[in-house]
Structure 1
Amino acid sequence: MAKLDPEILAHLEWIGFVRPTGLVVSAPALVRAGAILDRRDADGQRLLRECVEERAFDPKEGPVPQLPDFRAFAESVLGWSFSPKGYAGPTECPIPPELEVPLPDYGETLRPDFAVRELEPENGAPPWQLLVRVPEPGEDFDRVVRGHGHLEASAHGRMERLLRQTGVPAGLLFNGRALRLLSAPRGESSGWLDFRVADMIQTAGRPISTALRLLLGQPRLLSLPRAQRLAALLGDSRKFQNEVSERLAEQVLHALYELLRGFQAAHDASKGDLLRQPLA
């Protein structure tokens, strides 16, 4: 049996640990784009731990590790500069109207807290690649908020609606305890995965914190060649999965035809007796 590339195995390890829902990134697509996981990278985990504080969200649970401030975390761990050239959301560069979704029936407007630009987008591609929303600290991403005349939706549902209506392909939710990366390409089903702070600060969680920086660090968003940036990685992961699915379908169909031919040959050899009666 052929051995898997160790660089692919490194990605499969952390992807298996975080257990994505749907498709977000594929290990072969990451490696093909040069996104190699450095298992020896301890800096990211060290910087992450320096940002972490303990906080009790539930008296029964007790204090848990959390990141108290998204911007401080993004600047320190991900290297985001928040310069107007690459970002919107800070006071010096407010969120533009094109990233707002008015909901007049509910008297509110969906908008991100921060947004990352797509520098030099291809023809027809949106000029933004990632929207960030920061719910209340510790808020369950999937808890549906009801009543008060507002949109009855979870933080995840609000983000996905925002992505669909603005055409931006990816979103990031941050509640201090976890970061959720969503991939919502136009016309396709969404996928997401959670980077939990409690997991990433453990020694065994270093591959996860390294993967977080690899995917969401400023170089991946703004500096690398377009084919290696986050939007391209998410899109190529979908294409790779589709190619694999098509090849698998072809193999299954070929095997089915071989099976039918085998039945037909056996039927002929039995002079028509084998399939005379229904098989049950």
Structure 2
Amino acid sequence: MRAEGEQGSTGYAAAELEGFYAQQGLTFRPTWATSGTVLLQGLVSGDFDVANHGPAQLYDAIGNGACARALRPTQGAACGVIVRTGLHLDTTLPYPRVLTQLRGRTIGVAARGAAQELVLRSLLKDAGLNPDTDVSWVAIGVGAAAASALASGQVDAAMSYSQLETNLAAEGSRYDKLVDLAGSHTLLGAFWQSVAVANCGWADDHHDTVMKFCFALNQGFEALEKDPAAGPRAFAWLGLGPDPGRARILWKTYNMPVVDIPPLNRTNWNHQAKFASGGTAPDISAYVVDGCATA
């Protein structure tokens, strides 16, 4: 399995820590990655069986001929648009007008063409900006490197997420949030920040194993909802928080997108296409493993 060592991997971590994979006779071996392109290449080639990936980039890849099977959403909307405090932008303006202040600014994303950029490009268009000419894009990676890029002024703005905000706080770096996009009640609607995606060959040839994996993963998410200690344990395992106490605080702050995930249905599946550059969702019956989300 491959994923980012971040909030979107919380369900996987909970399933491992609670022993749900082992109960199904499965061995969980995560490999962390920071690039959606690397994730897709490894998944399609069969280097690993499952990846955690943004649906918009997945849809575009399928449209270009890649084969992958979606299992279930693993995180709801968990981001925001943040800027350096020193820019003194007006955070009280309504959306989408508030984003017009990004004209001429430099925006940092984990990797060019990744899910963060695709979503933000859609928001900029809502604000009447041309994402290709009105702003500049810089790949800043994730973790400490991304925090440093924003804090040092290498970029003016970025799409925020729990790991970035945590690293900025650890450095004592302040930021302003122009748009809060965390939760299903925001302007993104029934948005999935990430979905579990399986290699086509593995999913098609090992259906029983896939269902065992889905059952264990679903148990992990159930534990996150029902066991107050499961989330902090998973955050600590993922490195979100230097100690159990800090992990508990961070879980309290950032748990919503992990426990409030819009369900997998045709309407929500098609909704993700709004943020894909192709603008079209692939056929749900062809690219979703039936029964995984409810296993």
TM-score by length of 1: 0.28
How does the TM-score come out when normalised to structure 2? 0.27
Which structure has the bigger radius of gyration?
A: 1
User: Which structure has more RCO (C-alpha within 8 Å, separation ≥ 6)?
Assistant: 2
Whose helix proportion is higher, 1 or 2? 2
